[in-house]
Each structure stands twice: as C-alpha cells, then as structure tokens.
Amino acid sequence: MTTEEKIIKNKVGLLRLAETLGIVSQACRVMGYSRESFYRFKELYEMNYCTPYPVADGVRDYFA
C-alpha cells in the first residue's frame, strides 16, 4: 500500500466513523483531524472529486 493509499484510507475512514458515531467532533478527535478538514473531505467526496481506485477495505472511490 502506497503512502497516498494510506492517506486516502484514513480520510474515508474518518467519513465512515462520523457516519457511524453520528458525532463529527468525536470522530475528528479520535482520528486526529480538525472539523474543518472533515467538512473539506466530505465536500470533495460529495462533489464527485473522486477517482475510481481500489482501496484495501473495498472503497472504490477516493479523494486526495
């Protein structure tokens, strides 16, 4: 797994954790990201700035 893939996996993991917990601030604290970063990642993901790319956990879309 490349460094880029690891970074992408963490960003997708943050989005998934926030969805699971239902509390963005708690997910950000656990993953070590700011809420500002979370909303930036989410916006990019939702605006389809995603490129098809297989990631180890089965995520087919990623963003940088």
11 with 49: CB under 8 angstroms? no
Q: What is the phi/psi pair of residue 49, to 5°?
A: -85, 45
The residue-averaged pLDDT of 34-54 equals 76
The helix/strand/coil state of 62 is: strand
Determine the pLDDT at residue 45: 81
Spell out the domain ranges in the chain. Answer: 3-62
CA dihedral 45, 47, 49, 50 (to 10 degrees): 50
15 with 24: CB under 8 angstroms? no
The residue-averaged pLDDT of 3-25 equals 89
Closest CA to 17 of 5, 30, 8: 30
Instruction: Pick 57 or 33 by higher pLDDT.
Output: 33
